[in-house]
């Protein structure tokens, strides 16, 4: 046994899309250690169970935000919680984005779907330190305009290039339509001096990382966030294995240099 | 550790006294005993319960008790259980949570059951298996506190192996029938007597409470000869190649199709394996809905739900699940925990209902790789 | 080199063929929201974008033409001119002010006829562009961002 949840109160609940909400949490008593961007928590829904969720916001007050999509019993339960409800949270777990690795380099952030949520604290971190980082590019792919999270916020980000593309536009959409990788042609970065951060569905991660590598971004500077079944988050349950990687310990964010081969083997 | 004592010799009365001393210390003594047609590990009240005169006949998919001509207590190989049943139990409560009518929630860690175990009859292979689970459950960034507590308090009395079974292959995994360090006492059984070596201060103190005499060089040599002879009588062997490399090179092997056609994905191999450590968690609520408990239980990579990701299992085919088990055990275990995950105890061979033999599968993978290499040359 | 760059005319065509093609190019400028061609129209021209973006769309009665894909710098706009019956399958409209090379389809088809090697090179290039777009369309068809496709630790 490792780690007992700590009570956190839901202080705000914001629906992001039809099936996704962002919960802002504040500790009821003592807060957990600070989370780094890309790290995750095990979030407990009373009577239903626990799931791993990345932090989508880290407050100086010890507050956290989690963006959760209702895809299973626990995530659906968490999405139904209301302000005032108490959840259990344990963490921080895993290796995050490690934005410091991009110091003095251009930054390319590529988000697919709800993958934008775990990238959000990273984006805010690098945008807050324009002197430390080179040109920051934020590339976002979504299913439809209605599935696009944090739309207002995205427009305010002072990135060198911000691109949003959707798979299927609606009547009002005036932006790009197509795969998120097409936006890479318009991003402003010097591939050999770039660190990329990629999160989204696995096929999107593979396509994006390959594209970035073919442009000359070194494979060990392409950071990708991976997902597998996770029960303990402490390296003891064996569920999150991806070949040699125990993702709760070596990940969820790993270098493409380490992920490329395991991801190329079907059903590994 | 300040252990320099010369080996001692105890007889059957000494063995009785040893168990009695452990019971008197308040320890829960676990050792081999005959039950349900097998030699199982269970709590012993006295040395009387040891399987004197019993051996086992083993083969792929086969385990039978067999009477021995001598009255040896430890002349049998691994049974269906291992020490993980006690150190890393099949079910354990992790924590519980209470919800008040006002909606406040509090979480309470479960007090893990930490008996003061004495394990009597730990085989050298199982001693290595315990060391491997130590690394998995207590050697990383996080520690499994229940396991660590039980392990910390457990006294290990190893018994060297003089009677390897037909499914044994410890030597080919880098081990052998002699006990590695890590024990408190190590016994070697020869003709109804037991050579005792001390491995810790606690072991030394225990030996002091048991009638014993100095072993002398002849007895030591007899014991060493018996263990050396066992080394030469392994029933099976893994091919003498770098298994980690072989596993890495075999992810697309055709042999997986062959074994998947026989494998029932029942998970028996993972249950009996002394190093398999995987667990899952369950949420258990009471009828009020305001009390909930988080339980951990053994899980198996052969279970479909093991790799479930919203939408479906990552490893849906038996091919991929057998491959996961074997390549993890012999290959990626090194990446994750610095050693192999196999000690060559042979349990997975004996307890496979389909008689799948890990040594045969690895040999086939090796042969396939060699054939592939020849083709490309 | 990523596919989107490798498929640009200047990379995808051998230098001699590229230069021949560019010799018949016209500089063209379009303001935002210019319709380049209409679904069902005669495919008599094509473009390579040098600046700005264009959207491929489809006519659906009663609503704004839904966009199927956005094309950007370096992209080929239009391929129906190369294959019979030379009829546009989709419509195209500029989304920004656009600068482009414009080509006369009939002239290029004649060049292909007269020089089979040039013709093969052009057909190979356009075929690769089509394969890439088919691949992208298939990927989007998978609806990866849908309920069960999303990646990363949620």
Domain ranges of chain B: 8-231, 243-376
Instruction: Tokens 């006829």: give the residue.
Output: C113
- On whether any CB of chain C is under 8 Å from the CB of A28, the answer is no
Consecutive H or E run containing C134: helix C116-141
What does the pLDDT read at residue C60?
Answer: 85
Q: How far from the centroid of its chain's Cα atoms is residue A84's Cα?
A: 26
What does the pLDDT read at residue C148?
Answer: 58
User: At C147, is the pLDDT very low, low, confident or very high (cuts 50, 70, 90)?
Assistant: low
Q: Which chains reach chain A with 3 or more Cβ–Cβ distances below 8 angstroms? A: B, C
Nearest-Cα distance to chain C for A261, in Å, is 18
Cβ–Cβ gap C152/A179 under 8 Å = no
| Whether A79 contacts A89, CB under 8 Å | no
Query: What's the CA gap between A205 and B280, in Å, rounded?
Result: 28
Nearest-Cα distance to chain C for B100, in Å, is 29
The CB density around residue B166, as the number of other CB atoms within 10 Å, is: 18
Q: Where in chain A is the domain with CATH 3.40.50.80?
A: 99-264
User: At A57, is the pLDDT very low, low, confident or very high (cuts 50, 70, 90)?
Assistant: confident
pLDDT tens digit sequence for B41-99: 999 999 999 999 999 999 999 999 999 999 999 999 899 999 999 999 999 999 999 99
User: At C4, is the pLDDT very low, low, confident or very high (cuts 50, 70, 90)?
Assistant: confident
- Say how many domains are in chain C: 1
The two structure tokens encoding residue B151: 């392990």
Angle (CA) A85 A87 A92, round 5°: 145
Q: Helices B145-153 and B124-138 sit at what angle, rounded to 10 degrees?
A: 140
Question: Percent of chain A scored above 90 by pLDDT?
Answer: 88
pLDDT tens digit sequence for A22-36: 999 999 999 999 999
Cβ–Cβ gap A112/C145 under 8 Å = yes
Instruction: Work out the mean pLDDT of chain C and round it to a whole number.
Output: 91
Instruction: Check residue A33 and report its DSSP letter.
Output: P
The two structure tokens encoding residue C85: 């019956």
Consecutive H or E run containing C53: none
Nearest-Cα distance to chain C for A30, in Å, is 25
| Whether B210 contacts B21, CB under 8 Å | yes
Query: What's the CA gap between B229 and B236, in Å, rounded?
Result: 15
pLDDT tens digit sequence for B281-298: 999 999 898 999 999 999
What does the pLDDT read at residue B296?
Answer: 96
| pLDDT over 60 at B377, yes or no | no
What does the pLDDT read at residue C152?
Answer: 39
Angle (CA) A203 A102 A255, round 5°: 35
pLDDT tens digit sequence for B221-267: 999 999 999 999 999 999 999 999 999 999 999 999 999 999 999 99
pLDDT tens digit sequence for A153-181: 999 999 999 999 999 999 889 899 999 99
Q: Which chains reach chain C with 3 or more Cβ–Cβ distances below 8 angstroms? A: A, B
User: At C154, is the pLDDT very low, low, confident or very high (cuts 50, 70, 90)?
Assistant: very low
pLDDT tens digit sequence for A115-127: 999 999 999 999 9
CATH of domain A99-264: 3.40.50.80
| Whether B279 contacts A232, CB under 8 Å | yes
Write the burial class of residue C117 (CB in 10 Å: 0-12 exposed, 13-18 middle, 19+ buried).
Answer: exposed
Question: Percent of chain B scored above 90 by pLDDT?
Answer: 91
Cβ–Cβ gap A241/B251 under 8 Å = no
Chain A residues whose beta carbon lies within 8 Å of the beta carbon of residue B279: 231-232, 236-238
User: B265 forms bridges with which residues in the sheet?
Assistant: none
What does the pLDDT read at residue C153?
Answer: 41
pTM for the whole structure: 0.92
What does the pLDDT read at residue C127?
Answer: 96
Angle (CA) B201 B202 B205, round 5°: 85
User: At A17, is the pLDDT very low, low, confident or very high (cuts 50, 70, 90)?
Assistant: confident
User: Which of helix, strand or coil describes residue A75?
Assistant: helix
- On whether any CB of chain C is under 8 Å from the CB of B314, the answer is no
What does the pLDDT read at residue C141?
Answer: 87
pLDDT tens digit sequence for B106-126: 999 998 889 999 999 999 999
The two structure tokens encoding residue B357: 């033999």
CB pairs A-B closer than 8 Å: 135
The two structure tokens encoding residue C82: 């190369």
Q: Which chain B residue has its CA at the smallest distance from C148's CA? A: B311
User: At C61, is the pLDDT very low, low, confident or very high (cuts 50, 70, 90)?
Assistant: confident
Q: Helices C105-114 and C15-23 sit at what angle, rounded to 10 degrees?
A: 140
| Whether B113 contacts B94, CB under 8 Å | no
Homologous superfamily in CATH for domain A6-93: Translation factors (2.40.30.10)
Instruction: Work out the mean pLDDT of chain B and round it to a whole number.
Output: 94
Chain C contact probe: residue of B311, B314, B316 with most C CBs at under 10 A: B311
DSSP A220-249: GGEEEE-----SSSSS-S-TTEETTEEHHH
Average pLDDT over residues C16-30: 96
- On whether any CB of chain A is under 8 Å from the CB of C138, the answer is no
User: Which of helix, strand or coil describes residue A6?
Assistant: strand
Angle (CA) C149 A251 B133, round 5°: 115
C139, C152, C153 ranked by CB distance to A203: nearest: C139
| pLDDT over 80 at A196, yes or no | yes
Chain B contact probe: residue of A2, A11, A20 with most B CBs at under 10 A: A2
| pLDDT over 70 at A226, yes or no | yes
Query: What's the CA gap between A215 and A229, in Å, rounded?
Result: 32
User: Residue C71 belongs to a domain with what CATH number?
Assistant: 2.60.120.10
Highest mean pLDDT (candidates A263-267, B156-160, C140-144): B156-160
The answer for residues whose C-beta is within 8 angstroms of residue B64's C-beta and 6 or more apart is B56, B57, B58
Query: What's the CA gap between A252 and A224, in Å, rounded?
Result: 8
Cβ–Cβ gap A2/B301 under 8 Å = no
What does the pLDDT read at residue B306?
Answer: 95
Query: What's the CA gap between C36 and A176, in Å, rounded?
Result: 17
Average pLDDT over residues A1-7: 83
The answer for residues whose C-beta is within 8 angstroms of residue B265's C-beta and 6 or more apart is B302, B303, B318, B321, B322
Angle (CA) B35 B38 B44, round 5°: 45
Query: Which candidate, B99, B95, B149, places its Cα nearest to that of A42?
Result: B95
Cβ–Cβ gap A229/B277 under 8 Å = no
User: A140 forms bridges with which residues in the sheet?
Assistant: A111, A164
| pLDDT over 50 at B2, yes or no | no
The CB density around residue B258, as the number of other CB atoms within 10 Å, is: 14
Instruction: Tokens 């490690």: give the residue.
Output: A98
DSSP A179-199: -GGGGGGT----GGGEEEEEE
Query: Which candidate, B122, B133, B168, places its Cα nearest to that of B347?
Result: B168
The CB density around residue C114, as the number of other CB atoms within 10 Å, is: 9
Average pLDDT over residues B21-34: 96
User: B196 forms bridges with which residues in the sheet?
Assistant: B8, B187
The pair phi, psi for residue C30, each rounded to 5°, is -130, 135
SS (H, E, C) chain B: CCCCCCCEEECHHHHHHHHHHHHHCCCEEEEEEEECCEEEEEECCCHHHCCCCEEEEEECCEEEEEECCCCCCCCCCCCCCCCHHHHCCCEEEEEEEEECCCCCEEEEECCCCCCCEEEEEECHHHHHHHHHHHHHHHCCCCCCHHHHHHHHHCEEEEECCCCCCCCCCHHHHCCCCCCCCCCCEEEEEECCEEEEEECCHHHHHHHHCCCCEECHHHHHHHHHHHHHHHHCCCCCCCCCCCHHHHHHCCCCCCHHHHHHHHCCCCCHHHHHCCCCCCEEEEEEECCCCCEEEEEEEECCCCCHHHHEECCEECCCCHHHHHHHHHHHHHHHHHHHHCCCCCCCCCHHHHCCCCCCCHHHHHHHHHHHHHHHHHHHC
User: A22 forms bridges with which residues in the sheet?
Assistant: A14, A67
pLDDT tens digit sequence for C119-132: 999 999 999 999 99
Nearest-Cα distance to chain A for C127, in Å, is 19
What does the pLDDT read at residue B3?
Answer: 52
Give me the interface pTM, i.e. the ipTM: 0.92
User: C93 forms bridges with which residues in the sheet?
Assistant: C35, C55
Average pLDDT over residues A101-116: 95
Angle (CA) A82 A87 A89, round 5°: 140
The answer for residues whose C-beta is within 8 angstroms of residue B81's C-beta and 6 or more apart is B40, B41, B272
What does the pLDDT read at residue C150?
Answer: 41
* Structural domain that includes position C131: 3-140
């Amino acid at each position: 046994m490792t780690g007992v949840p700590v009570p956190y109160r839901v202080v705000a609940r914001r629906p992001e899309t039809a099936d996704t909400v962002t919960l802002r949490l504040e500790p009821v008593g003592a807060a957990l250690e600070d989370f780094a961007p890309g790290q995750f928590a095990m979030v407990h829904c009373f009577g239903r169970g626990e799931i791993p969720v990345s932090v989508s916001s880290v407050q100086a007050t010890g507050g956290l935000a989690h963006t959760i999509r209702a895809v299973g019993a626990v995530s659906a339960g968490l999405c139904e919680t209301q302000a005032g409800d108490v959840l259990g949270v344990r963490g921080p777990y895993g290796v995050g984005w490690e934005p410091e690795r991009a110091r003095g380099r251009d930054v390319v952030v590529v988000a697919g779907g709800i993958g934008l949520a775990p990238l959000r604290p990273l984006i805010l971190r690098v945008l807050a330190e324009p002197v430390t980082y080179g040109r920051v590019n934020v590339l976002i792919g979504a299913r439809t305009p209605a599935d696009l999270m944090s739309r207002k916020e995205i427009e305010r980000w002072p990135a060198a290039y911000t691109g949003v593309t959707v798979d299927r536009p609606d009547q009002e959409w005036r932006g790009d339509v197509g795969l998120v990788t097409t936006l890479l042609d318009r991003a402003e970065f010097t591939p050999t001096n770039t660190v990329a951060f990629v999160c989204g569905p696995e096929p999107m991660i593979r396509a994006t990382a390959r594209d970035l590598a073919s442009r000359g971004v070194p494979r060990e500077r392409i950071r990708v966030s991976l997902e597998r079944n996770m029960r303990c988050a402490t390296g003891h349950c064996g569920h999150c294995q991806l070949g040699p990687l125990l993702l709760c310990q070596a990940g969820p964010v790993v270098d493409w240099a380490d992920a490329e081969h395991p991801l190329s083997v079907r059903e590994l | 550790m300040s252990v320099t004592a010369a080996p001692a010799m105890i007889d059957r009365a000494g063995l009785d006294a040893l168990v009695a001393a452990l019971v008197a210390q308040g320890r829960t003594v676990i050792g081999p005993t005959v039950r349900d047609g097998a030699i199982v590990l269970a709590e012993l009240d006295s040395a009387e319960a040891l399987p004197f005169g019993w051996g086992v006949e083993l083969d792929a998919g086969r385990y039978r008790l067999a009477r021995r001509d001598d009255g040896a207590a430890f002349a049998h190989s691994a049974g269906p259980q291992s020490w993980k049943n006690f150190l890393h139990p099949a079910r354990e409560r992790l924590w519980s949570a209470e919800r008040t009518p006002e909606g406040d929630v509090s979480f309470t860690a479960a007090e893990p059951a930490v008996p003061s175990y004495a394990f009597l009859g730990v085989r050298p292979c199982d001693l290595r298996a315990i060391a491997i689970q130590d690394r998995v459950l207590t050697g990383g960034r996080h520690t499994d506190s229940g396991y660590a507590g039980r392990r910390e308090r457990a006294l290990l009395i190893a018994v060297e192996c003089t009677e390897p079974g037909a499914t044994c292959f410890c030597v080919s995994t880098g081990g052998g029938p002699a006990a590695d360090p890590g024990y408190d006492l190590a016994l070697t059984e020869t003709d109804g007597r037991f050579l005792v070596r001390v491995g810790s201060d606690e072991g030394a103190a225990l030996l002091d409470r048991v009638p014993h005499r100095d072993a002398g060089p002849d007895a030591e040599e007899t014991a060493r000869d018996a263990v050396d002879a066992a080394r030469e009588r392994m029933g099976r062997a893994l091919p003498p190649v770098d298994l980690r490399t072989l596993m890495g090179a075999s992810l697309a092997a055709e042999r997986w199709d062959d074994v998947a056609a026989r494998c029932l994905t029942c998970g028996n191999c993972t249950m009996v394996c002394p190093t398999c450590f995987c667990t899952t968690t369950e949420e258990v609520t009471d009828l009020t809905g305001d009390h909930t408990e988080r339980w951990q239980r053994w899980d198996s990579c052969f279970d479909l739900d093991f790799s479930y990701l919203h939408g479906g299992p990552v490893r849906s085919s038996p091919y991929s699940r057998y491959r996961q088990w074997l390549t993890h055990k012999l290959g990626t275990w090194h990446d994750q925990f610095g050693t192999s995950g196999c000690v060559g105890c042979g349990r997975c061979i004996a307890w496979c209902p389909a008689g799948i033999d890990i040594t045969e599968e690895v040999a086939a993978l090796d042969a396939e790789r060699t054939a592939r290499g020849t083709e490309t040359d | 080199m990523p596919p989107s760059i490798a498929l640009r005319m200047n990379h995808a065509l051998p230098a001699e063929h590229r230069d021949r093609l560019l010799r018949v190019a016209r500089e063209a400028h379009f303001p935002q929201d210019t319709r380049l061609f209409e679904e069902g129209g005669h495919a008599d021209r094509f473009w390579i974008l040098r600046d700005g973006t264009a959207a491929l769309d489809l006519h659906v009665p009663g609503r704004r033409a839904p966009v199927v894909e956005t094309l950007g710098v370096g992209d080929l706009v239009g391929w129906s001119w190369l294959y019979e019956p030379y009829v546009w399958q989709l419509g195209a409209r500029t989304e920004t002010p656009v600068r482009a090379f414009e080509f006369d389809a009939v002239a290029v088809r004649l060049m292909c006829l007269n020089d089979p090697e040039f013709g093969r090179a052009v057909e190979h290039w356009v075929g690769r562009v089509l394969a890439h777009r088919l691949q992208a369309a298939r990927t989007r068809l998978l609806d990866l961002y849908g309920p069960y496709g999303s990646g990363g630790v949620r």
